[in-house]
Amino acid sequence: MKTNDYIERLYGEAVKAMRNAVAPLSGFRVGAAVLTSSGEVYTGCNIENPSLMLSACAERVAILKAVSEGTRDIRAVMVVSDGGDYCYPCGSCRQLIYEFATGAEIFIAGGGGIKKYSIEELLPYAFKR
């Protein structure tokens, strides 16, 4: 799979996932897609809850879906939102990416295109065991 092919595939899957977002409080929908080294894609969307503590971020949903299916070889993470600007993973999601997708390429889509990061750039002082 060529580099642009998997980025486009991840972007499309993340946009589809974003359409399933449940965001009655913020109105801010987010979608994520993760790609494994075997080519499988797992997706997630943000799911809000009035208690806020029970809400889930799109990245976290996608990663936990992959992990719950026995996959831990995540090589790329894509995050999109309907806000028009770049939507970076929150601190909790950054730590989860560090734990389960340490070497993954992280793509953030926004009005200016797609930006690529490593988790070390987004979380330079990760909690390490």
Catalytic option among 59, 69, 99, 105 = 59
Q: 79 with 87: CB under 8 angstroms?
A: yes
Q: 69 with 102: CB under 8 angstroms?
A: no
Distances from the Cα of 127 to the Cαs of 5, 38, 55, 68, in angstroms?
Answer: 33, 28, 22, 22
Comparing CA positions, the residue from 87, 86, 92 lying closest to residue 63 is 92
Helix (H, G, I), strand (E, B) or coil at 121: helix
- H or E element in which residue 61 lies: helix 58-68
- 121 catalytically annotated: no
How many CB atoms neighbour CB 128 within 10 A? 6
Q: Which residues are catalytic?
A: 59
